[in-house]
Amino acid sequence: MLHGLAVFTSNVDGQFQRAGLDDALIHECHGSLHWLQCLRGCGQAPWPADDVQPDIDEAECRWRGELPACPGCGGLARPNLLMFGDWGWISGRYDAQAHRLNRWLERVERPVVIEVGAGTAIPSVRMFGQQVVAGYGGHIVRINPREPDVATAFGVGLACGAVEALTALESKLG
């Protein structure tokens, strides 16, 4: 049986990678600010934004100097993340992440989904956890100070903040 930790997140800030988690087991369902893509979709694959050093005029709320350009066509680049009503997002990197996460889920038994701060307004993260439980068994631990409800058969809701809940869980498992 496979043990370990995988991440499904709607955050786009790359903090799970910065915290040292394995990039191969992170699915960023809305993309990442740390990747760029061609605005007009010339066929260039998305590329890391590591070389971008934003120089912002904070008083005017403006980017100074040259905007990032597509290495394929020289046109304007954009963040490789999914915005509302966004038909131009190039999702290949994230489709691959989804595939890797599904392969991982097929190899685990009785997964525990620790869902942190996932609301009902845009329920993609909540739906993911529920699909895991429906498809692979296991349970959800739903950490949410305002919307902790979860059907008893599927898991438990903790009506508190993330640090409080995770610290308490760690001490119980300790």
- Interaction site with Zn ion (CB under 5 A): 38, 42, 44, 70, 72-73, 75
Provide, rounded to whole angstroms, the least separation between the CB of residue 78 and Zn ion.
10
84 φ, ψ (degrees, to nearest 5): -65, 135
Task: Give the integer Cα–Cα distance in Å for 118 and 96.
Answer: 23
Provide, rounded to whole angstroms, the least separation between the CB of residue 68 and Zn ion.
11
Provide, rounded to whole angstroms, the least separation between the CB of residue 170 and Zn ion.
46
Provide, rounded to whole angstroms, the least separation between the CB of residue 128 and Zn ion.
32
Judge whether 160 and 167 are in contact, CB under 8 Å. Answer: no
- Residue placing its CB nearer to Zn ion in the complex, 25 or 69: 69
3-state secondary structure of 129: helix
- Residue placing its CB nearer to Zn ion in the complex, 21 or 73: 73
- Residue placing its CB nearer to Zn ion in the complex, 21 or 39: 39
Provide, rounded to whole angstroms, the least separation between the CB of residue 34 and Zn ion.
19
Residue 117: HSE in the Cβ half-sphere, 13 Å Cα cutoff: 8
110 dihedral zone (left: phi>0; alpha: psi -120 to 50; beta) = left
- Residue placing its CB nearer to Zn ion in the complex, 36 or 150: 36
Q: How many helices (H) and strands (E) in the chain?
A: 4, 10
Q: Which residue type, as a one-letter code, is found at position 145?
A: P
3-state DSSP helix/strand/coil % of the chain, to nearest 5: 30, 25, 50
- Residue placing its CB nearer to Zn ion in the complex, 76 or 151: 76
